[in-house]
Each structure stands twice: as C-alpha cells, then as structure tokens.
C-alpha cells in the first residue's frame, strides 16, 4: 500500500536527530528524561509541540 501523506509528520532525519538528542540528554540527566512521562512523549514534544509553539511565537512577533 502506498503510504498516505500525513499532515504534521516530520521526516526520518528529524526523528533520528530527536533520538540522538534524547540519548545524550538522557545520559546526562537520567532522572529527568528517562521516565514514563518525558520518554514516551519526547517525539511529540520535540517534533510537534515545541516547533508549533515556536512558530506561533514567531508569528506573533512578526505581526507586531
């Protein structure tokens, strides 16, 4: 089956980058990053929520 286009889904390079950052931060700050809350939501936070927040912020600054 051909994979559908999906709104808001980043490419594999971004996912790989997010993984490397997670491993590095997890190694340095284990109790903060290697837990059941941050761990499973890391992808969503770093590749969707934070970029959306930054874009929204930049949009507001740009419109002033």
Which residues here bind another protein, judged by CB under 8 A? 1-10, 15, 18-19, 22-23, 26-27, 30, 34, 36, 39-44, 47-49
Question: Which of 30/58 has CB closer to another protein?
Answer: 30
d(CA 27, CA 36): 16
**Helical H segments across the chain, by residue range:** 12-28, 30-33, 38-44, 50-63
Q: How far is the CB of 18 from another protein (least distance, A)?
A: 8
Give the nearer residue to another protein in terms of CB position, either 28 or 61. 28
Q: What are phi and psi of 54, to 5 degrees?
A: -65, -45
């Amino acid at each position: 089956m051909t994979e559908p286009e999906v709104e808001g889904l980043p490419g594999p390079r971004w996912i790989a980058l997010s993984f490397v950052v997670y491993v590095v931060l997890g190694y340095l700050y284990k109790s903060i990053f290697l837990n059941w809350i941050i761990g499973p939501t890391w992808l969503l936070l770093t590749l969707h929520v934070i970029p959306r927040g930054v874009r929204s912020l930049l949009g507001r600054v740009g419109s002033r």
